[in-house]
């Protein structure tokens, strides 16, 4: 165990610690309803296993284990996507490409898609750590709801924000992945397939798709946020606080 | 160590089995895509995907499966999935991916389908 520590009521675990035996730490944090934060750079299968285990134990506490497949699937998508966003920024910076310039963006994404591989991800995970391009996954929970925030420590660029808004709006409309492919053809990389699967999984469990949002917070961090209702009386933020969530980039 | 390993077994000039082991994700989905491309170029039109040792798949991997499904329909050919683990079956169910694929219990069942039903493009 490298450095599991608890401060301000939050158990903080680093990606490198996740292959270890962390059950006792997680159980203790859950017993006290303390937040759990995982700090990751690469998001490899052991990271996913650790995140899944945390979700499993939290849901078990509130007798909501049936939600685990949905939560684990969404969490995997969000964590991988956040790591990918960091890698993309590093690649663009190394090649002196501007995210806001359309020609640069197209070229950068072409290079990015061509380069992506397991070995490349390990290397870019190292670079992410050196450059402190981190992904933070925060679990906060009580008997009413499980809130999972996946945070990148940089804001979306203006054009990224527009693209994310468009993909989210489109994902809300698709009935299923068949609809998505009928509209997008075979060029699906980066087209929002992950968002479509997230929306479909939420609907499958009767959870309002608006429980999933993406926004830039006051600290200029990009946050992908998922609220999972754990009690039948719980209302998601969008319904409770519409004036606040309208300001967020959903 | 790689998270994904793919082994190929040739059943006939038109049919192969892909034994997929590990985690299919954004980092390695292109490896899977390249295997499909290579064999389609070589004349394969029926793909039996053995998910017995596949631990999980993300949207990038599912995207590759759909791409190949759409492409073999035009040949015509088939994509059949066997031995999927319960967690993967559950994932396919909650994301409604399951309705687009044949999820079968055994490889023998898949081969029988390919032998007795000429490929019609209906997967």
This complex has an ipTM of: 0.88
Is the per-residue pLDDT at B118 higher than 80?
Answer: no
According to the model, what pLDDT value does residue B123 have?
Answer: 46
Answer whether A174's CB lies under 8 Å from A182's CB: no
Tokens 């830039």 — which residue?
A: A216
Chain B residues near residue A73 by CB distance under 8 angstroms: 91, 94-95
Across chain A, which has 250 residues, the per-10-residue mean pLDDT values are 57 87 92 95 89 96 95 95 94 93 92 91 95 96 96 89 88 88 70 90 92 92 95 86 58
Closest residue in chain B to residue A84, using alpha carbons only:
B26
Cβ-nearest to B63 among A116, A176, A188: A188
A48–B56 CB contact, under 8 Å: yes
Q: Which of B27, B68, B93, B100 to mutate to test the interface with A (most CBs of A within 10 A)?
A: B27
Edge-to-edge strand ranges of the sheet holding A222-229: A5-7, A10-14, A35-40, A135-141, A145-152, A222-229, A212-216
pLDDT at A192 (0 to 100)? 87
Q: What is the pLDDT of residue B68?
A: 92
Q: How far apart are alpha carbons B49 and B64 in whole angstroms?
A: 12
> Which of the two residues, B115 and A127, has the higher pLDDT score?
A127
pLDDT at res. A208:
92
Q: Is any Cβ of chain A less than 8 angstroms from the Cβ of B93?
A: yes
Determine, for residues A197 and B95 on separate chains, whether the beta-carbon distance falls below 8 Å: yes
Determine, for residues A69 and B90 on separate chains, whether the beta-carbon distance falls below 8 Å. yes
Of B30, B58, B59, the CB nearest to A116: B30
**Could you report the per-residue pLDDT of B39-75, keeping only the tens digit for each?**
999 999 999 999 999 999 999 999 999 999 999 988 8
Considering only CB atoms, which chain A residues are within 8 Å of B30?
116-117
Which residue in chain B is spatially nearest to A182 when comparing CA positions? Answer: B70
Given a cut of 80, whether residue B119 has pLDDT beyond it is: no
Pairing of β A5-7 and β A10-14: antiparallel
Q: Do A118 and B66 touch (CB under 8 A)?
A: no
pTM over 0.95, yes/no: no
Domains and CATH numbers, chain B: 5-114 (3.30.750.24)
Best B4, B6, B21, B26 residue to mutate vs chain A (most A CBs within 10 Å)? B26
| pLDDT at residue B121 tops 70 | no
Exposure string of A148-167, with b = 16+ CB inside 10 Å and e = fewer, is: bbbbbeebbbeebbebbeeb
- Give A23 to chain B, closest Cα distance, Å: 21
Residue B100 DSSP code: G
What Cα–Cα distance (Å) separates residue A7 from each residue in A2, A12, A54?
A: 16, 8, 18
pLDDT for the residue numbered B76: 87
- pLDDT bin (cut points 50, 70, 90) of residue B3 is confident
């Amino acid at each position: 165990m490298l450095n599991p520590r608890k401060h301000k009521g939050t158990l903080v675990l680093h990606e490198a610690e996740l292959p270890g035996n962390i059950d006792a730490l997680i159980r203790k944090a859950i017993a006290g309803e303390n937040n759990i934060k995982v700090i990751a750079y690469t998001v490899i299968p052991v990271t996913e296993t650790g995140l899944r285990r945390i979700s499993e134990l939290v849901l078990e506490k509130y007798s909501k284990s049936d939600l685990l497949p949905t939560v684990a699937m969404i969490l995997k998508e969000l964590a991988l996507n956040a790591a990918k966003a960091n890698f993309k920024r590093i690649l663009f910076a190394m090649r002196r490409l501007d995210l806001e310039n359309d020609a640069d963006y197209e070229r950068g994404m072409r290079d990015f898609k061509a380069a992506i591989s397991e070995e490349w991800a390990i290397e870019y995970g190292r670079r992410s750590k050196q450059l402190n391009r981190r992904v933070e996954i925060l679990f906060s929970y009580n008997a009413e709801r499980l809130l999972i925030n996946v945070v990148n420590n940089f804001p979306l660029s203006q054009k990224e924000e527009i693209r994310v808004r468009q993909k989210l709006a489109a994902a809300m409309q698709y009935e299923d992945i068949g609809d998505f492919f009928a509209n997008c053809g075979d060029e699906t990389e980066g087209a929002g397939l992950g968002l479509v699967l997230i929306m479909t999984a939420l609907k499958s469990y009767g959870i309002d798709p608006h429980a999933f949002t993406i926004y830039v917070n006051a600290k200029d961090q990009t946050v992908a946020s998922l609220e999972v209702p754990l009690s039948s009386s719980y209302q998601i933020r969008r319904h409770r606080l519409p004036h606040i969530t309208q300001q967020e980039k959903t | 160590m790689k998270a994904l390993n793919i082994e190929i077994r040739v059943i006939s000039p038109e049919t192969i089995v892909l034994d997929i082991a590990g985690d299919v994700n954004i980092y390695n989905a292109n490896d899977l895509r390249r295997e499909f491309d290579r064999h389609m170029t070589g004349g394969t039109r029926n793909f039996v995907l053995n998910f017995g040792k596949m631990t999980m798949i993300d949207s990038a991997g599912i995207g590759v499966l759909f791409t190949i499904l759409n492409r073999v329909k035009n040949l015509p050919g088939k994509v059949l999935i066997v031995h999927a683990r319960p967690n993967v079956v559950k994932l396919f169910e909650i994301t409604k991916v399951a309705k687009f694929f044949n999820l079968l219990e055994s490889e023998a069942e898949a081969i029988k389908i390919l032998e007795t039903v000429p490929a019609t493009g209906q997967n």
